[in-house]
Amino acid sequence: MLKNILNSYLIFYSPRRFAKLIAYMLQASEYDLKAYLKWFWSTQDFSKVQVRKDLNLTRIARINKTFLALICEIQILVGLGLMILYFTGHLMAGWGYGLGLIIIYPVLWSQLIVVPIFFARLLIIYPKQKRAINRSAQIFKNFNGLKIAIVGSYGKTSMKELLDAVLRTKFKVASTAGNQNVATSHAVFANKLQGNEEILIIEFGEGQPGDVAKFSKTVLPDRAIITGLSPAHLDKYKTLNKAAEDIFSVDHYVKHNKILVNAESSYIKPYCKKAYQLYDRSGTLGWKVGAVQVLNNGLKFELSKKQQTLKIKSNLLGRHQIGPISAVIALALELGLEPEPILGALKTFKPYQHRMEPYQLNGAYIIDDTYNGNIEGIKAGCDLLRELKANRKIYITPGLVDQGPENEAVHLRIGSYIADAQPDIVILMQNSVTNFIQKGLEKAHFKGKVEIIDDPLFFYNNLKEIVAKGDLVLMQNDWPDNYR
């Protein structure tokens, strides 16, 4: 105990370690100063703050780290100087002032560091970003090809990657990278365009009210795909309705019949307008789904319209992928692609990293869905777990973050989804929502074993020790260091 407390605060009094820690906390909070300060004051053991990742030495991180280390070292030296003055009889209060300066430096600079960051953002970064965004708005406005916006609480990156892979077989396509989906990343994307692109696929993230409307205004998309709606980022949106209003604000800029909406998303129906085109696991745009086979390592199904039947084989996992795959096929056919290259692209398309990504470990099937951070995705994963056959099924999750006032209700529901999937073992990462999931499991009369893990990193690193051939393991979501 004493050792832990000492370890926790020793970091504070090693200027370089302290500087690295604060730089890391700022970076992990994405320089959201409110989130950083909240994290700082709620942390009890600073030796355990930096567990999952290390500081990525970007230019800003390096500046913060160097500045903090330097200023703290100067303060220590000044403190020592004052103490020497006391001992040499030159300054009576030197001892007290000196000691005070040395003791106070970590708390002082952990707070004062937000001041230069605040002003740097206000005076330098924001104006620079604004200029870049304005430039990108002009680029998007002048673009003559097709612009497709991908919007939704979840499933955006997978949809964007899938659509890109298919359309690329005929057109010159450019898509926003990874999950970079905010105005500044759109601006970077626009600046990098070659000028010969025929189709742009742009992912719209939603972090706070007005985001999607703002991105739509800049990009002016011709088409939009709304991949789903679920309680996400409710710390900022507060209610699901507010999140929905933002997501659906894309329809102020896109013709309603050019918007494809995932009708499978249970929250989405009240917001759907008549002219929207819908897709789900039964089909889309007149195409009907049949002969579905859900496998450990992919999907097989048929898509039929009038006399035409397409046999689809995909590496994507879970019945919930049928809707998005069908939507991509239907859209690609509408844009003039032939079935053969579409099916070829689907066949080779691999799940995006950590999104229902299957791999084998010690003979067991692991489904890595650790980037899944929404209740609909949790449900889809649980449905898949229930559907697949295995000697032993193991379900692992820490729960979801940013669920705002819905936090308890969402995690109770997660408990019931997990119970429905009937895993043999449920492994929960100890945190603030564990109790709610456990309650949900109890309410749903879950009969299997529940284990609580207090060191997730150790657990994930040793996953191979607990699995064997015949096991099916589903891992959903993973919490970064700044969530407890």
Partner 1 sequence: MKRVAVIFGGQSTEHDVSIVTALGSVIRPLELTKLYQIEPIYISKDGTWYCDDRLKDIAVYQSGEIDDILTKLKPISLDFTNGLAIIKSSPFAGRKTYLKIDLVFPAMHGTLGEDGSLMGLLDMANVPYVGCGLRASVLAMDKILSKEVALNHDIPVTKYVATTKFELELKPDEIIKNINTMLKFPLFVKPAHLGSSIGISRVKDNQELTNALEVAAHFDQNILIEEEVANLIEVTLPIIGNEELTPGLLERPLNHEASFFDFETKYMGGSKKGKGSKSGSQGYSEIPAKLPKELTDLALNLGLKVYQTFDLKGIARVDMLIDSKKSKVYFNEINPLPGSLYSHNFNQAGISNVELVKKLVNYAQENYKYLKSLNRTFNSNYLRQR
Comparison of 326 and 434: residue with beta carbon closer to partner 1: 434
216: nearest Cα among 164, 162, 258: 258
Binding part of the chain for partner 1, among 174-182, 381-389, 416-424, 469-477 by CB under 8 A, reads: 469-477
CB of 372 to partner 1, least distance (A): 25
Cα 86 to Cα 313: distance, rounded to the nearest angstrom: 80
CB of 466 to partner 1, least distance (A): 5
| Positions 152 through 211 that interact with partner 1 (CB under 8 A) | none
Q: DSSP string covering 369-406, please?
A: ETT--SHHHHHHHHHHHHHS--SEEEEEE---S--GGG
Sole binder of partner 1 in the list 1, 59, 286, 465 (CB under 8 A): 465
CB-CB neighbours of 452 under 10 Å: 14
| Under rule CB under 8 A, residue 4 binds partner 1 | no
Binding part of the chain for partner 1, among 174-182, 231-239, 248-256, 463-471 by CB under 8 A, reads: 463-471
Collect all residues with Cβ–Cβ distance below 8 Å to 182 and sequence separation of at least 6: 205, 207, 211, 215
CB of 47 to partner 1, least distance (A): 18
Comparison of 123 and 468: residue with beta carbon closer to partner 1: 468
Binding part of the chain for partner 1, among 36-44, 141-149, 192-200, 467-475 by CB under 8 A, reads: 467-475
Residues 364 and 467 sit within 8 Å (Cβ to Cβ): yes
Q: How many residues does the chain have?
A: 484
CB of 334 to partner 1, least distance (A): 48
Tell me the residue type at 224. A
| Under rule CB under 8 A, residue 464 binds partner 1 | yes
Cα 134 to Cα 126: distance, rounded to the nearest angstrom: 12
Cα 394 to Cα 418: distance, rounded to the nearest angstrom: 10
375: nearest Cα among 250, 280, 243: 243
Write out the H or E segment, with its range, that includes residue 262: strand 259-262
CB of 462 to partner 1, least distance (A): 6
Which residue in the block uniquely carries the two structure tokens 């407890």?
484
Binding part of the chain for partner 1, among 55-63, 173-181, 440-448, 458-466 by CB under 8 A, reads: 458-466
**Helix crossing, 59-87 with 15-28: angle to 10°?**
150
| Under rule CB under 8 A, residue 273 binds partner 1 | no
Q: x-or-dash pattern for partner 1, window 349-378, by CB under 8 A? A: -------------xx---------------
Q: x-or-dash pattern for partner 1, window 384-403, by CB under 8 A? A: -------xx-----------
| Under rule CB under 8 A, residue 348 binds partner 1 | no
Binding part of the chain for partner 1, among 328-336, 399-407, 410-418, 465-473 by CB under 8 A, reads: 465-473
Residues 136 and 218 sit within 8 Å (Cβ to Cβ): yes
| Under rule CB under 8 A, residue 466 binds partner 1 | yes
425: nearest Cα among 455, 446, 408, 399: 446
162: nearest Cα among 173, 289, 152, 153: 173
CB of 364 to partner 1, least distance (A): 8
| Under rule CB under 8 A, residue 470 binds partner 1 | yes
| Under rule CB under 8 A, residue 468 binds partner 1 | yes
Q: Contact positions toward partner 1, by CB under 8 A?
A: 362-363, 391-392, 459, 462, 464-471
